[in-house]
Amino acid sequence: MAKVVFVLLLDVRVYREQVPNPYASPSADPTFAVEAIATDASAPNASGIRRFLNLIIDNVVLTVLSYGAGVVLGIVYVVAKGSGQFTEQDQATLQAMGFLLGLIVGFSYFFLLEALCQKTVGKLLTGTKVISMDGGRPSIGQFLGRTAARYIPFEAFSFLTSQEPRGWHDTLSGTRVIRG
């Protein structure tokens, strides 16, 4: 009996060494990430049409988000004010708060989505993404600079002055947009 148990235990040990564990963590090839970065560096810039579609789609999304945030702001303001007359001072205060809220929504939209995903909704729909000039993931500083440069007056027209479809928010931050 002892011999049978020993043989069974030995047989189980040999079986475990031959069959891979189905619950083991998957292993990845460490050179894959390096190859992916290398291909991004040589990828061509996204076309001007795709960049224009990004602009249109992102502006539509921003309009919807800003409108929703403005409605919430208006409701909160009226509830907080309580009953009473809505004066010109209230209107001016609400307009200033709405303007600041619009800036915050726009800045947050571009910065958060690009910093987290390298894509906005427009880039997601057109199959493009933001990379640094060397082909890697941009730094937080580059994403902040990219987002802040969008608020330069007439920045959207900077595409008209360059041969490649790159705006000031690309060149000033050291980033570019590629298909991918």
Per-residue pLDDT tens digits of the chain, which is 180 residues long: 555 544 555 555 555 566 677 777 777 766 655 555 555 778 889 999 999 999 999 999 999 999 999 999 999 998 988 877 888 999 999 999 999 999 999 999 999 999 999 999 999 999 999 999 999 999 999 999 999 999 999 998 888 887 888 899 999 999 999 998
Residue 138 placed within a domain: yes
Residue 85 placed within a domain: yes
Q: Using the structure block, give the residue that is written with the tokens 């307009």.
A: 95
Residue 21 placed within a domain: no
3-state secondary structure of 154: coil
Residue 24 placed within a domain: no
Residue 70 placed within a domain: yes
Domain count, the chain: 1
Can you count the helices (H) and strands (E) in the chain? Answer: 7, 2
The phi, psi pair for 63, rounded to 5°, reads -60, -45
Q: What local confidence, expressed as pLDDT, does residue 26 receive?
A: 76
**Rounded to the nearest 10 degrees, how much is the dihedral formed by the CA atoms of 135, 138, 143, 145?**
-80
| Single pTM value for the model | 0.74
Please give the full DSSP string across 120-146, using - where no structure is assigned.
Answer: -HHHHHHTEEEEETTSSPPPHHHHHHH
Partners of 175 in beta bridges: 132
Residue 14 placed within a domain: no
Residue 58 placed within a domain: yes
Residue 38 placed within a domain: no
Give me the domain span that covers residue 63: 44-179
